[in-house]
């Protein structure tokens, strides 16, 4: 009789249907709660300064000077008006948006085509060409500033936004090719073979079949190219001369000097500079997670 009672229990234990012991469940809950507490604490530390800047941008300057930290007594949007019109943030913002979007589009387009060819086509020298692309990850781009400066000077690209676009696109290609190639190697080739059997040429195959499959990797490459390009201070400082061509990071240095006493306008300018990054991350978060975890799920 005892053997008959123990048989179903042994079968359930083998299948893993039996609940975990109470002590094990409690330890698991404590670990989960501890991990969530650490993550919430990190989020509070990371987003605390951003929240203070956002609240400060909605407060009058006199109120900020009296109490630097506090909630606004009334929402004041005039800080944003002064930052956008009087402080020339609009000019810096449009310059940054133009340079960043153009360089990201050029970088991701070239990287997608190169990664597709290197991961799908078989030709002599493919491994050497892939190593050439990936070698750019081992060399900091800023070490080549002097040759780049002289090359741009000879080409008339100093104080030119086109020069910045080309420089940012070229510097982002190695990482983008690396990400997209790793993603492409995990994709099955049956859909491409079916498209070729149906008569699709390589251009139509790439646009209609491959690019939709690449979407998570393209999102990762876009975000990882957009953020450093938007935040870059070094190249615009060295290569630009005219104030009307400055990007947001360089323009904010002039902005800080002119509006150091006007804290509300200063905070509003910082919020405006952060908006594109927040929008890009919010729109691409799902695709970023899918792209970064694609290799682990196969």
pLDDT higher than threshold 50 for residue 165: yes
pLDDT higher than threshold 70 for residue 85: yes
In order, the DSSP letters of 78-89 are HHHHIIIIIT-H
Structure-model confidence comparison of residues 231 and 74, the more confident one: 231
Q: What is the extent of the structural domain holding 214?
A: 88-292
Residue 191 placed within a domain: yes
Confidence category of residue 108, pLDDT binned at 50, 70, 90: very high
Q: Are 118 and 131 in contact (CB under 8 A)?
A: no
Residue 164 placed within a domain: yes
Residue 58 placed within a domain: no
Q: Could you give the CA distance from residue 198 to residue 273 in angstroms, rounded to a whole number?
A: 48
Residue 173 placed within a domain: yes
| pLDDT tens digit sequence for 231-280 | 999 999 999 988 889 999 888 888 777 766 777 888 888 888 888 888 88
Selection from 121-130, 138-147, 158-167, 260-269 with the highest mean pLDDT: 158-167
Selection from 77-86, 194-203, 234-243, 278-287 with the highest mean pLDDT: 234-243
Residue 171 placed within a domain: yes
pLDDT higher than threshold 60 for residue 294: no
CATH code (residue 265): 1.10.3720.10
Residue 160 placed within a domain: yes
pTM of the model: 0.78
Supply the pLDDT for residue 86.
Answer: 78
Q: Are 133 and 182 in contact (CB under 8 A)?
A: no
pLDDT higher than threshold 80 for residue 192: no
Residue 7 placed within a domain: no
Supply the pLDDT for residue 3.
Answer: 46
The structural domain count of the chain equals: 1
Supply the pLDDT for residue 20.
Answer: 52
CB-count burial class (<10 Å; 0-12, 13-18, 19+) for 190: exposed
Residue 143 placed within a domain: yes
């Amino acid at each position: 009789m005892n053997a008959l009672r123990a048989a179903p229990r042994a079968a359930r234990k083998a299948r893993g249907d039996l609940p975990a012991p109470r002590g094990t469940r409690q330890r698991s809950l404590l670990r989960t709660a501890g991990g969530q507490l650490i993550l919430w604490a990190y989020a509070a530390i990371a987003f605390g300064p951003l929240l203070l800047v956002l609240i400060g941008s909605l407060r009058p300057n006199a109120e900020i000077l009296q109490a630097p930290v506090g909630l606004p007594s009334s929402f004041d949007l005039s800080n944003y008006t002064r930052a956008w019109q009087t402080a020339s943030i609009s000019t810096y913002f449009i310059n940054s948006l133009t340079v960043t979007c153009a360089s990201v589009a050029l970088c991701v387009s070239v990287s997608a085509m190169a990664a597709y060819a290197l991961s799908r086509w078989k030709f002599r020298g493919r491994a050497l060409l892939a190593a050439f692309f990936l070698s750019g990850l081992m060399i900091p781009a800023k070490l080549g500033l002097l040759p780049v400066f002289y090359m741009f000077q000879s080409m008339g690209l100093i104080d030119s936004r086109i020069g910045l676009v080309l420089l940012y696109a070229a510097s982002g290609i190695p990482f983008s090719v690396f990400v997209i190639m790793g993603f492409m190697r995990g994709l099955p080739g049956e859909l491409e073979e079916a498209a070729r059997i149906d008569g699709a040429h390589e251009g139509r195959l790439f646009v209609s079949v491959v690019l939709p499959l690449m979407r998570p990797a393209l999102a990762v490459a876009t975000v990882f190219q957009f953020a450093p390009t938007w935040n870059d201070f070094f190249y615009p400082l060295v290569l630009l001369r005219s104030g009307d061509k400055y990007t947001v990071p360089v323009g904010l240095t002039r902005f800080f000097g002119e509006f150091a006493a006007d804290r509300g306008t200063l905070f509003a300018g910082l919020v405006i500079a952060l908006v594109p990054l927040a929008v890009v991350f919010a729109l691409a978060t799902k695709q970023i997670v899918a792209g970064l975890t694609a290799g682990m799920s196969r």
